[in-house]
């Protein structure tokens, strides 16, 4: 889309605005909205009623409401960079601000203008990002006449809806690719890649039938089970000059995305290792989370230790590390049936010892692993393309909003009269 610029500009004096149309005013945000404090909702929370809104949208209900009308919501603590536009009766939490739209201002334009606030510039803390009401009130915006605000908002409503629809399509594709990847792994490790192989009942619900010539046994019978530990945090000497890789829940994001782990977020030292129950594990061990997100797994490429929130399997000659990893990949959707704990889910060691795996001949394990690698590589490339597409669409969305609300493009003739009314 190619849109014209305004015929005449002037310097705004604000670096985030640059030059603005000559007939626009430079005003503080408080000219558009009257910012109010949110409030704790616990006293009014109930199963249904008025929506309670946080930075991610409505998440609970209340018996009362703070405001009935159109408002722009802004983050006060935590997630501060995701303004929301709401209408009707609502309650918003004490980590948010809400606002009344002032006379002579468009609520939608105010919302789009809020999306361009340089929150990192104003944030009062890096550990817990925070915004003050005074900083928000004083933030300079480019303010066109009300009729023009309405036109700009209508234009952005229309164009961002198109972009959001494209993003939704790509996100749907990501979901389908993830499901396809899981199904590919599960089918290969439980059915094999020879469609003509005679089958037998495995005796395990999640496995179903497996090729008749395969064994089915407990994982601990084909791989040595190792538990982990954390050296005492009360003894500083255990945490000085640390060089030993130590897999912990800090590595969960890596384990979720990668088949191999070569480095860790936290390390321990020899003294800490010697004075704890942690043990050095060989390269080729399959580490496996047993707390929080259950069943995230990767293969170590160098000797490592693990925390008590993980276990490790050291494969015997009967099973390869990569095939065992794929078994855990396939098993993951079924692991919730073993978990307990309301705050942090965990799987007990008793249930860990009961986990079963199919055991094809080693040569067949290698063929299955190679097949899975080939198929998932194709799917991962499609996933990466979709993720890049989403990132580009989001960048385009942000750039379009910024250009429109700061007057870098003139959209006055880009919106049908009936849409701008």
287: β partners: 298, 312
CA nearest neighbour of 14 among 143, 140, 144: 140
**The pLDDT value given to residue 418:** 53
CA distance 187 to 158: 44
Of 142, 157, 175, which one is at a domain's C-terminal end?
A: 142
Residues 220 and 317 in one domain: yes
Look at residue 288 and tell me if it is in a domain.
Answer: yes
* CA separation for the pair 398, 384 (Å, rounded): 21
Can you give the pLDDT at residue 259? 96
Residues 241 and 122 in one domain: no
The pLDDT score that the predictor gives to residue 296 is 95
Domain boundary among 328, 344, 359: 359
For residue 321, give every residue at least 6 positions away whose Cβ sits within 8 Å of its Cβ, in sequence order, or none.
Answer: 284, 285, 286, 299, 315
**Assigned domain for 187 exists:** no
pTM of model > 0.75: yes
Q: Give the chain's domain count.
A: 2
Residue 164 lies in a domain: no
Rounded distance between C-alpha atoms, residue 299 and residue 260, angstroms: 5
Are residue 133 and residue 227 in the same domain, yes or no? no
Domain that holds residue 300: 215-359
Residues 90 and 221 in one domain: no
Q: Is residue 393 in a domain?
A: no
Last residue of a domain, one of 89, 112, 142: 142
User: Residue 204 falls within a domain, yes or no?
Assistant: no
| 8 A C-beta contact, residue 229 and residue 247 | no
Counted residue by residue, the chain has a size of: 421
Asked if the structure places residue 12 within a domain, the reply is no
Residues 219 and 355 grouped into a single domain: yes
Q: Burial of 43 by CB count in 10 Å (0-12 exposed, 13-18 middle, 19+ buried)? A: exposed
Q: What is the pLDDT of residue 345?
A: 83
Looking at the domain assignment, is residue 276 inside a domain? yes
Hey, what's the torsion of the CAs at 223, 225, 230, 231, to 10 degrees? -90
Q: How far apart are CA 235 and CA 237, in angstroms?
A: 6
Q: What is the CATH number of the domain that holds 351?
A: 3.90.220.20
User: Does residue 40 lie in a domain region?
Assistant: yes
User: Residues in the chain with pLDDT < 50?
Assistant: none
């Amino acid at each position: 889309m190619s849109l014209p610029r305004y015929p005449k500009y002037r310097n705004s004096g604000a670096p985030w605005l640059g030059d603005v149309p000559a007939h626009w005013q430079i005003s503080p945000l408080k000219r558009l909205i009257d910012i109010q404090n949110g409030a704790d909702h616990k006293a009014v929370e109930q199963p249904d009623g008025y929506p309670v809104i946080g930075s991610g949208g409505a998440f609970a209900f209340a018996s009362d409401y703070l405001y009935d009308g159109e408002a722009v919501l802004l983050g006060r603590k935590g997630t501060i960079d995701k303004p929301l536009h709401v209408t009707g009766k609502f309650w918003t939490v004490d980590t948010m601000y809400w606002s009344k739209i002032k006379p002579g201002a468009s609520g939608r334009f105010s919302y789009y203008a809020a999306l361009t606030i340089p929150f990192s510039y104003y944030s009062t803390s890096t550990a817990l990002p925070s915004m003050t009401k005074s900083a928000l009130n004083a933030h300079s915006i480019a303010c066109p006449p009300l009729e023009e605000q309405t036109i700009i908002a209508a234009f952005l409503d229309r164009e961002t809806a198109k972009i959001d629809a494209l993003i939704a399509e790509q996100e749907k594709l990501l979901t389908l690719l993830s499901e396809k990847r899981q199904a590919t792994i599960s089918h290969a490790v439980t059915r094999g890649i020879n469609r003509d192989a005679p089958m037998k009942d495995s005796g395990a619900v999640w496995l179903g039938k497996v090729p008749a010539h395969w064994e089915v046994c407990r994982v601990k019978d084909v791989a040595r089970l190792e538990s982990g530990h954390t050296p005492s945090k009360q003894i500083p000497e255990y945490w000085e000059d640390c060089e030993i890789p130590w897999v912990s829940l800090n590595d969960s994001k890596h384990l979720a995305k990668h088949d191999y782990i070569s480095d860790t977020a936290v390390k321990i030292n020899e003294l800490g290792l010697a004075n704890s129950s942690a043990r050095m594990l060989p390269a080729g061990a399959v580490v496996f989370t047993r707390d929080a997100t259950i069943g995230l797994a990767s293969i170590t490429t160098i000797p490592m230790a693990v925390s008590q929130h993980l276990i490790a399997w050291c494969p015997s000659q009967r099973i390869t590390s990569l095939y065992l990893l794929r078994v855990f990949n396939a098993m993951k959707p079924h692991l919730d049936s073993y978990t307990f704990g309301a705050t942090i889910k965990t799987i007990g060691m008793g249930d860990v010892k009961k986990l079963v795996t199919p055991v094809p001949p080693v040569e067949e394990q290698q063929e299955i692993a190679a097949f899975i690698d080939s198929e998932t590589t194709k799917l991962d490339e499609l996933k990466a393309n979709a993720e890049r597409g989403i990132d580009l669409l989001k960048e385009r969305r942000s750039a379009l909003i910024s250009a429109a609300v700061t007057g870098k493009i003139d959209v006055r003739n880009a919106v049908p009269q009936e849409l701008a009314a």
